[in-house]
Structure 1
Amino acid sequence: DDEGRVVTNYHVIAGVLASIPPGRRANEVAKVTIQTDDGSRTFGASLVGASKEKDLVVLQINAPKELLKPVTLGTSEGAKVGQAVFAIGNPFGFDHTLTTGVISGLNRTIQTQAGSFVTGAIQCDAAINPGNSGGLLLDANGRLVGVNTAIFTPTGSSAGVGFAIPVDTVKNIVPQLIKNGQVILPSLNIVFGDAAIMRDLKIQLGSGALAHGFVGESK
Structure 2
Amino acid sequence: MTAIRRFSFACVLFLFAAAASAATVNLPDFSPLVRDAAPAVVNIEATQNPSAMSRGGYDDEEMPEFFRRFFGPGMPTPPSRGGTSLGSGFIISADGYVLTNHHVVDGADDITVRLNDRRELSAELIGSDPQSDIALLKVKASGLPVLKTGRSQALQPGQWVIAIGSPFGFDHSVTAGIVSATGRSNPYAPDQQYVPFIQSDVAINRGNSGGPLLNTSGEVVGINSQIFSNSGGWMGVSFAIPIDVAMNAVQQIKDTGTVSRGQLGVQVQDIDQATASALDLELPRGALVVQVEPGSAADKAGIEVQDVIVGFDGQEVVRWSELPPLVGAVAPGSRVEVEVIRAGRERTLTAVLDAVGGDAVASASRRAGGASQSNPLGVVVQDLSAQERAQLGIEGDEGVVVVRVEPRVAQRTDIRRGDIVTRVGRETIRSKADFEAAVGDADGDEPVMLLLQRGGRSQFVTVTPAGH
Question: Are 2:176 and 1:100 aligned?
Answer: yes
CA distance in 2, matches of 1:188, 1:168: 21
**Alpha-carbon separation, structure 2, partners of 1:180 and 1:29:** 24
User: If you compute each CA radius of gyration, which structure gives the higher value, 1 or 2?
Assistant: 2
Is the contact between residue 112 and residue 118 of structure 1 (CA under 8 Å) also seen in structure 2? no
CA contact (8 A) 1:111 1:118 kept: no
Tell me how far apart the structure 2 counterparts of residues 207 and 94 of structure 1 sit (CA, whole Å): 52
**Deviation sequence 1:116-136 (CA, Å, 0-9, x none):** 445311000010111110001
* 2:178 maps to amino acid: V
Matched residue, 1:20: none
Letter of the structure 2 residue corresponding to residue 41 of structure 1:
R
**1:13 aligned partner:** 105
Q: Distance in 1 between matches of 2:132 and 2:260?
A: 12
TM-aligned CA deviation for residue 185 of structure 1: 2.6
Which aligned runs of 4 or more in structure 1 are off by greater than 6 angstroms?
A: 111-114, 188-191, 205-208
Alpha-carbon distance change, 132 to 186 in structure 1, aligned in 2, over 3 angstroms: same
2:114 is equivalent to residue 33 of structure 1: yes
Q: Which runs of 5+ in 1 are unaligned?
A: 17-27, 194-204, 209-217
Q: CA deviation at 1:170?
A: 1.4
Letter of the structure 2 residue corresponding to residue 44 of structure 1: S
Q: Which structure: greater strand fraction?
A: 1
Per the alignment, do residues 110 and 159 of structure 1 end up closer, same or farther by CA in structure 2, a change over 3 Å counting? Answer: same
Alpha carbons of structure 1 residues 109 and 32: separation in structure 2 relative to 1, 3 Å: same
Among all aligned residue pairs of Structure 1 and Structure 2, give the percentage whose two residues are the same amino acid.
37
- 1:192 paired to 2:270: no
Distance 1:126 1:117 in 2: 22
Choose from 110, 117, 123 the match for 2:186: 110
Of 181, 199, 212, 1:123 maps to 199
Give the letter for the 1:32 counterpart: V
Q: Within 2, Cα distance between the matches of 1:156 and 1:148?
A: 16
Kindly indicate whether structure 1 or structure 2 has the higher relative contact order, using CA contacts under 8 Å at least 6 residues apart.
Answer: 1
Counterparts of 2:179 and 2:111, CA distance in 1? 31
- Give the corresponding residue for 2:243: 167
- Residue 112 of structure 1 deviates from its aligned partner by 7.7
Where is the helix percentage greater, Structure 1 or Structure 2? 2
Equivalent position SS for 2:253: helix
Residue equivalent to 1:133: 209
* More divergent stretch after superposition (117-126 vs 89-98): 117-126
Residues 154-176 of structure 1 show CA distances to partners (whole Å, capped at 9, x for unaligned) of: 11111010000011111211100
**Could you tell me how far apart the structure 2 residues matched to 1:207 and 1:81 are?**
33
The count of corresponding residues between Structure 1 and Structure 2 is 183
Mark the runs of 5 or more structure 2 residues left unpaired by the alignment: 1-92, 266-292, 297-303, 308-353, 356-468
Root-mean-square deviation (CA), in Å? 2.7
- Is the 8 Å Cα contact of residues 11 and 114 (structure 1) preserved in structure 2? no
Q: Which residue of 2 aligns with 1:2?
A: 94
Shift of 1:186: 3.5
Change (3 A) 1:147 1:70: same
Deviation of the 1:115 alpha carbon = 5.7
- C-alpha offsets along residues 13-67 of structure 1, whole Å, 9 cap, x if unaligned? 1132xxxxxxxxxxx641111112xxx101001111111111001011002x23x
In 2, Cα distance between equivalents of 1:34 and 1:55: 22
| Alpha-carbon distance, 1:206 to partner | 7.3
Question: 1:10, 1:114 within 8 Å by CA — same for their partners in 2?
Answer: no
CA 1:160/1:207 → structure 2, altered by over 3 Å: closer, same or farther? closer
Normalising to structure 2: TM-score of the pair? 0.36
8 Å CA contact 1:100, 1:126 repeated in 2: yes
1:129 maps to a residue whose letter is N
